[in-house]
Amino acid sequence: MLDTGSHPIRDSAGADGGRSDVSSEDAVAARLQALAEMDYDALRDEWRRLYRAHPPKRVARDLLQLGVAWRIQEKANGGLSAALKRRLADLAKTMEQDGDIARNRVARLKPGAKLIREWRGETHTVAVLEDGFEWQGKRWRSLSVIAREITGSHWSGPRFFGLNGKAEAGVAIREAGNA
């Protein structure tokens, strides 16, 4: 039985580090159920133990319980990848600056990737750089400028190179190292 007093909720591994005969899913479910029985001070202690930081001041018990439950599940099932955390931070920064994240939805390309597009019988290869793109030996600030140069008319660069889910015929993307 789990101790729901002022002590931290026990992990499924015993004190000696051995495995319990309770499955990890069952252990997580039991830990989450035990949260409902914990008083406010015990939840704050559990927050400190799991996050290694003080909980926010004057936070409602329900939110404290949700935060602790999130962390328990994150530790058991794995959290967000580093790439996803960076993407979320980028979106938050964009939202703070201009309140519009629609412009920040273009697929993220890794430096070194190559975009290959056939247009009117000619194959065009664009290299993805840290700070832009390279095409025909020159650096470019955006794919749309390159698409306009290739076609002679206004195009959405991401659409022209098949990055928005509406891939055109003759488009290929090669990740770095797979060329």
Summarize pLDDT for 79-131 with one digit per residue, the tens. 888 878 888 888 888 788 777 666 555 556 788 889 999 999 999 999 998 88
Given this model, what pLDDT does residue 105 score? Answer: 52
Does the pLDDT value for residue 78 go beyond 90?
Answer: no
Does the pLDDT value for residue 12 go beyond 50?
Answer: no
CA 120 – CA 87 distance, rounded (Å): 36
Does the pLDDT value for residue 10 go beyond 70?
Answer: no
Per-domain boundaries in the chain: 1-79, 114-174
CA 115 – CA 135 distance, rounded (Å): 10
Share of the chain above pLDDT 90, in %: 44
Among 9, 71, 5, 3, residue whose Cα is nearest residue 41: 5
CA 33 – CA 2 distance, rounded (Å): 10
Buried residues in 26-62 as b, exposed as e (16+ CB within 10 A)? ebbeebbebbeebeeebbbbbbeebeeeebeeebeee
